[in-house]
Amino acid sequence: MNAPSLVAECDVLIVGAGIIGLAHATEALRRGLTVMVIDRDSRAVGASVRNFGHCCVTAQSGDLLELAQTARERWLHFSGLAGFFSVESGGLAVARSTEELAVLEELSASRETGQVRLVTGAEVNDRLDRDGSLGSAGSAGSAGLIVGGAVLRDDIRVDPRQAVAALAAWLDDQPGARVWWRTSFLAAAEPTGIGAGLVRTSRGSIRAERTIVCVGHDLDYLYPEVADEYEVQRCSLQMARLELPGARRIAPAVLTGTSMLRYPAFAQTRAATQLRRVMDDRHPDLVDIDANVMFTQRPDGTIIAGDSHHYDQSVAPFLAEPTTDLLLRHVREVLGGPDARVIERWQGVYASSPLQSYVIADIEPGLTAVSITSGVGMTIGFGVAARTFQTLG
Ligand SMILES: Cc1cc2nc3c(=O)[nH]c(=O)nc-3n(C[C@H](O)[C@H](O)[C@H](O)COP(=O)(O)OP(=O)(O)OC[C@H]3O[C@@H](n4cnc5c(N)ncnc54)[C@H](O)[C@@H]3O)c2cc1C
């Protein structure tokens, strides 16, 4: 076979047009570099369009909180430039037990005033635009009353289906940037010698000073040794979209007790230890599916609801109906009423490592792989992109 011909040149080649690849591309542009993004698909259909669109800033801690705050600014900035929906909605953590409330109280006390603001059951109902007949601490069904909640000030939301497509289109319009779809990364040539800096793609070779590979959970397809080092697996999640009767508006991203066992700022409280015991005892079914019962509302009024977590090297294509039933029962309880109708179901997949929330790995000179290895790519992606370029100098 002949060597593929040179089809393009740039300073930085990004592989993958999900949010992580696009965030890196915007960072390259900010630094005055020419950039190309290639993706094997004809549009983004990976994790970046299958999620809640929730930038879960407030419930991060330490390094992740810092990355999330950077990402928050960039989301709002690019939403203006590229013209996609974003809203400084905050998050709403709904407490349905005193143990959940204790987690929120402890977190609130540890943060600057107003960042985690405790609210009554009545205010939770208001923010959920729930039927007034459910009362200020309205019955939420078998899971008990809504006893209160907390507004998570710094959380923002985008519509994932719109945001990633709009950002890619905006990038492709910028001088010095190009996005090529249906173009697969095949291999990087040897780092030295005549082919140095050449990347083989399904459309020919691209010469780049630096290549950043952002292929999400497919990291192991290209670099199994890196995936093994960080014990990266695939996490698969069951999701659904619901249509609500009436014209209810629910601005915040809505989290529940299961979310309090997942996101670090909640999970690191002392009260979370007791909550974990209570969950094991009262909701072993939710614990079994590693649930994070939460939802967000799209601009068209429909609700993105989820999710369960299953970890494996490869993802089975089969969705378990009892898992979706269980998740939706809890989502409907918080929504208040049985009448939210399912209009779509899907499976999402992201990379997961028990060791790190994200991986920036030098593969060889000029070639770096970046993968977010926890369920927070929308929250920290732009922050990680800035970090990658700082690391590269
Ligand atoms: C159901 C679900 C809910 C989630 N909810 C949230 C949330 O609310 N908040 C949050 O912060 N995070 C959330 N996440 C996590 C977040 O969505 C991911 O961390 C993030 O989208 C990962 O982005 P990515 O660009 O790495 O991956 P992807 O979006 O999967 O993009 C990878 C891209 O690489 C391309 N590619 C792969 N191989 C090649 C190749 N050889 N050549 C060219 N292109 C290639 C693919 O076509 C794909 O477009 C959720 C994830 C899921 C699945």
Hey, what are 71's tokens?
């990402």
Q: If we measure between CA atoms, which residue out of 9, 3, 70 comes closest to residue 390?
A: 70
Whose CA is closest to atom 15 on ligand 1? Answer: 375
State residue 150's pLDDT score.
98
User: Which residue has its alpha carbon closest to ligand 1 atom 14?
Assistant: 375
Alpha helices in the chain (DSSP H): 19-30, 47-50, 62-82, 98-110, 121-127, 160-173, 219-222, 224-229, 257-260, 264-267, 271-282, 284-288, 321-335, 377-392
Tell whether the model's pLDDT for residue 195 goes beyond 70.
no
Tell me the per-residue pLDDT of 361-377, one tens digit each, with 9 for 90 and over: 999 999 999 999 999 99
Best mutation site among 378, 380, 382 for ligand 1 pocket (most ligand atoms within 8 Å of CB)? 378
Map residue 386 onto helix, strand or coil.
helix
Cis bond before residue 307 (omega within 30° of 0): yes
Rounded to whole angstroms, the Cα distance separating 367 from 206 reads 13
**Helix 62-82 / helix 160-173 crossing angle, nearest 10 deg:** 70
**pLDDT the model gives residue 143:** 43
Q: Indicate the length of the chain as a whole number.
A: 393
Measuring from atom 26 of ligand 1, which residue has the nearest CA? Answer: 216
Identify the residue whose tokens are 């369960």. Answer: 308
Decide if 340 contacts 183 (C-beta within 8 A): no
Residue of 19, 51, 217 with the most ligand 1 atoms within 8 Å of its CB, for mutation: 51
Q: Is 307 in the pocket of ligand 1 (CB under 6 A)?
A: yes
> Which pTM does this prediction carry?
0.96
**Dist CA 363 CA 87 (whole Å):** 37
pLDDT of amino acid 189: 77
Q: Mind listing the domains of the chain with CATH numbers? A: 6-53+161-229+355-392 (3.50.50.60), 92-153+233-352 (3.30.9.10)
The per-residue DSSP string of 243-289 comes to EPSTT----SEEE-HHHHTTSHHHHTSTHHHHHHHHHHHH-HHHHHT
User: Which residues lie below 8 Å from residue 378, measured CB to CB, with a gap of 6+?
Assistant: 19, 48, 51, 52, 53, 54, 55, 158, 160
pLDDT higher for 197 or 53? 53
Ligand 1 site, residue 78, Cβ cutoff 6 A: no
Six token digits for residue 76: 């709002």
Give the separation between CA 103 and CA 276, rounded to whole angstroms: 11
pLDDT for the residue 193: 66
What DSSP designation does 112 have?
-
> What's residue 23's pLDDT?
98
Q: What are the angstrom distances between the C-alpha of 315 and each of 218, 311, 350?
A: 11, 8, 10
Counting from 1 in the atom list of ligand 1, the atom nearest the Cα of 239 is 1
Q: Which of 52, 86, 289 has most ligand 1 atoms within 8 Å of CB, for mutation?
A: 52
- Per-residue confidence (pLDDT) for residue 132, from 0 to 100: 52
Mean pLDDT score of the chain:
94
Give dist(CA 89, CA 323) in Å, integer: 29
pLDDT tens-place string over residues 271-322 = 999 999 999 999 999 999 999 999 999 999 999 999 999 999 999 999 999 9
Indicate which residue's Cα is closest to atom 6 of ligand 1.
51
Q: At what angle do helices 160-173 and 19-30 cross, to 10 degrees?
A: 30
Alpha carbon distance 56, 292 (integer Å) = 13
The amino acid that residue 85 corresponds to is: F
Mean pLDDT, range 337-342, rounded to an integer: 85
Atom 3 of ligand 1, residue of closest alpha carbon: 51
Interval between CA 51 and ligand 1 midpoint (Å)? 9
Q: Which atom of ligand 1 is nearest to the CA of 237?
A: 1
How far away, in angstroms, is 238 Cα from ligand 1 center? 15
pLDDT of amino acid 194: 66
Cα separation, 201 vs 12, in Å, equals 15
DSSP state of 356: -
Quote the ligand 1 centre to 48 CA distance (angstroms). Answer: 4
Ligand 1: does its nearest atom lie under 6 Å from the Cβ of 24? Answer: no
User: Directed axis angle between helix 271-282 and helix 98-110, to 10°?
Assistant: 160
Tell me if 148 CB under 6 Å of ligand 1: no
Tokens of residue 202, six digits: 């399904």
The verdict on the CB of residue 39 being under 6 Å from ligand 1 is yes
Q: Which residue, chain included where needed, has tokens 């199994």? A: 224
pLDDT recorded at residue 325: 95
SS3 188: strand
C-alpha span between 231 and 208 (Å, rounded):
30
Residue nearest to atom 33 of ligand 1 (CA): 16
Percent of the chain residues topping a pLDDT of 70: 94
Q: Is the CB of 155 under 6 A from ligand 1?
A: no
Backbone angles phi and psi of 362, in degrees to 5: -75, 120
Q: Whose CA is nearest to atom 46 of ligand 1?
A: 16
The torsion of the CA quartet 66, 62, 152, 72, rounded to 10 degrees, works out to 10
Q: Does the CB atom of residue 315 touch ligand 1 within 6 A? A: no
Q: What's the CA-to-centroid distance between 31 and ligand 1, angstroms?
A: 24
Q: Is 91 in the pocket of ligand 1 (CB under 6 A)?
A: no
pLDDT tens digits for 217-247? 999 999 999 999 999 999 999 999 999 988 8
Nearest CA to ligand 1 atom 21: 48
Residue whose pair of structure tokens reads 């690391």 in the numeric block: 391
Q: Specify the pLDDT at position 139.
A: 43
**pLDDT tens-digit map of 114-159:** 999 999 999 999 999 987 555 444 444 444 589 999 999 999 999 9
